[in-house]
Amino acid sequence: MEAKLHELKTRLLEIDDLSRAGAVLNWDQSTYMPPGGAEARARQMSTLGRLAHEKFTDPAIGKLLDDLRAYGESLPYESDDASLIRVTRREYERSTQIPSTLVAELSNHASTTYQAWTEARPDNDFNRLRPMLEKTLDLSRQYAECFPGYEHIADPLIDFSDFGMKASSVRQVFADLRQALVPLVQAITSQEVVDDSCLKQFYPEDQQKAFGEMVIKRYGYDFNRGRQDKTHHPFETKLSLGDVRITTRFQDHDLGDGLFSTLHESGHAMYEQGVSPALEGTPLANGTSAGVHESQSRLWENVVGRSRGFWEHFYPQLQMTFPEQLGKVSLDTFYRAINKVQRSLIRVDADEVTYNLHVMIRFDLELQMLEGSLSIRDLPEAWQARYESDLGMAAPDDRNGVLQDVHWYGGIIGGVFQGYTLGNVMSGLFYSHALQAHPEIPAEIAQGEFSTLHAWMKNNIYQHGSKFTAPELLERVTGGPLRIEPYIQYLQGKYGEIYKL
Ligand code: ZN
């Protein structure tokens, strides 16, 4: 068994090397690569991806997993080796169940569609994308059909990013959340609109960057095992556990954009930096699901980074960094500005309170498309109708409507949006448990001190990588399934105070 386990780990390490090399190429493409490199880079990344996929779906891996199954089950469930055998088997079965021809077809189709979307969105031309999107829907259904026995056709697709969740369980969470959010949004938006002009002054980029990096260093993001660079669409990427990078962007006249993007990505990165080194080079050395990953980015961006305590400590430093812009702006004015709530059309610019309504619209439309009750032809109209009924606004055009998010135009339809809201809900839940264990955390945050909170997250969540599924992790950490109450209480408490509800 020792020898077989060793062989499995050796093979997985080689596959991981190929995947991480692909991640380096991808990072470089999004940061420093000159445009002339695009064509060769696409080919190089696809070669590495294909090699990694071939090696992972090699029947020899299946044989090793079969031989190791009984051994794995004889070990304690949470041991590294038992988890490795269990999780690798799950991913192996998933990868071998999808024909490689379908993988290749979807990957080619996704890159063609993405290219077309980059031009069609500025041109506001949904019709040009319609035939492509129809094919995406067809391929997405074929993908789901590779996993028969589902309850809802979206379930296998939800599994890809949030393993263990189903359309029915997500629907239930979303319905409960909606009941609490709609009255809160109504109460807030019936009040006078908050003035956030203090954030829209000229802010030199170098100082924005230095301030954000000072904050995330204090959070515990380790620059010896990471770095931050500029890109168009911020992201976090793991090149190894010793090299977890983030990217951000800055706008001269919007202080919040760059700063909160840095805080957000640092949360994703601290999760990956906190994975136990013993898991390096295996499928366990990743965050466990889209939802849990997003819980960490949202925690450090919003629950901590937009809290009053946080700014009681950091605002004087921000004022010293930008004396002309903020010298005469009070902490209260600034705090209200960074927490401004308003009905809006664009998901990525939405505030904490309305954000989840944007996600629910997309999730519901995805389910309807997969079920066949909504055709691609009718999608733009359905989108508009939902924005009018849910947010009381209609987009002036598709560019600010159905064309705004890349997800459907660069991948599959189904399972790609729920993780954002699950992450928000989990951020409130995990934070409430950290507070139960350490009631001193808010006072520490107000001193610019984050080590207790960071250590709690690391011990309870980060170190395990993907040993546990999200439902298993929730059970271990919170003693039960996903609950929305702590998140709702967090929102009601914070915004009730800001808006004096
Ligand atoms: Zn994120």
Task: Tell me the pLDDT tens digit for each residue of 259-296.
Answer: 999 999 999 999 999 999 999 999 999 999 999 999 99
CA dist 37 → 34, 41, 47, 359 (Å): 6, 6, 15, 35
CA neighbor of 20 nearest in space, from 236, 224, 235, 238: 238
pLDDT reported for residue 460? 98
53: its two tokens? 């996929």
Helix (H) or strand (E) holding 246: strand 243-248
pLDDT reported for residue 444? 98
Distance (angstroms) between ligand 1 centre and the Cα of 379 equals 26
The position carrying tokens 């019936």 is 190
Distance (angstroms) between ligand 1 centre and the Cα of 423 equals 9
Q: Please, what sign has the CA dihedral across residues 132, 136, 137, 138?
A: positive
Distance (angstroms) between ligand 1 centre and the Cα of 404 equals 17
- Cα separation, 357 vs 340, in Å, equals 16
DSSP labels for 104-131? HHHHHHHHHHHHHHHHHHHHT-HHHHHH
Distance (angstroms) between ligand 1 centre and the Cα of 294 equals 5
Distance (angstroms) between ligand 1 centre and the Cα of 220 equals 18
* C-beta pairs of 469-473 under 8 Å, 24+ apart in sequence: 469/163, 469/164, 469/288, 469/289, 470/162, 470/163, 470/164, 470/165, 470/288, 470/289, 470/291, 470/292, 470/422, 470/426, 471/164, 471/165, 472/164, 473/288, 473/292
CB 327 within 8 A of CB 318: no
CA neighbor of 477 nearest in space, from 439, 427, 440, 441: 427
Q: Kindly provide the b/e burial profile for residues 8-27, where b requires at least 16 CB atoms within 10 angstroms of the residue's own CB.
A: bbebbeebbebbbbbbbbbb
Angle, helices 2-31/80-97, rounded to nearest 10 degrees: 60
* C-beta pairs of 210-213 under 8 Å, 24+ apart in sequence: 210/321, 211/259, 211/317, 211/318, 211/321, 212/248, 212/258, 212/259, 212/262, 212/263, 213/262
CB 339 within 8 A of CB 352: yes
Distance (angstroms) between ligand 1 centre and the Cα of 458 equals 18
The backbone torsions φ and ψ at residue 479, rounded to the nearest 5 degrees and listed phi first, read: 75, 15
- Cα separation, 86 vs 46, in Å, equals 28
> Which residues in the chain show pLDDT less than 50?
none
Exposed / middle / buried, residue 61 (Cβ in 10 Å: 0-12, 13-18, 19+) = buried
- Cα separation, 409 vs 110, in Å, equals 7
pLDDT reported for residue 445? 98
Task: Using DSSP, state whether 170 is helix, strand or coil.
Answer: helix
Distance (angstroms) between ligand 1 centre and the Cα of 267 equals 8
96: its two tokens? 């071998």
Which residues are registered as beta bridge partners of 229? 247
Distance (angstroms) between ligand 1 centre and the Cα of 296 equals 8
317: left (phi over 0), alpha (psi -120 to 50) or beta: alpha
Task: Using DSSP, state whether 239 is helix, strand or coil.
Answer: strand
10: left (phi over 0), alpha (psi -120 to 50) or beta: alpha
Distance (angstroms) between ligand 1 centre and the Cα of 382 equals 27
pLDDT reported for residue 256? 96
Exposed / middle / buried, residue 345 (Cβ in 10 Å: 0-12, 13-18, 19+) = middle
Distance (angstroms) between ligand 1 centre and the Cα of 295 equals 8
Distance (angstroms) between ligand 1 centre and the Cα of 293 equals 7
Distance (angstroms) between ligand 1 centre and the Cα of 418 equals 12
pLDDT reported for residue 339? 98
- Cα separation, 68 vs 61, in Å, equals 10
Distance (angstroms) between ligand 1 centre and the Cα of 3 equals 39
List the catalytic residues: 265
409: its two tokens? 């135009």
Per residue in 78-109, pLDDT (tens digit) is 999 999 999 999 999 999 999 888 988 988 89
Distance (angstroms) between ligand 1 centre and the Cα of 268 equals 7
pLDDT reported for residue 103? 87
Helix ranges (DSSP H) in 59-201: 59-74, 80-97, 100-123, 126-145, 155-161, 167-189
Helix (H) or strand (E) holding 245: strand 243-248
Whole-prediction pTM: 0.96
Distance (angstroms) between ligand 1 centre and the Cα of 501 equals 30
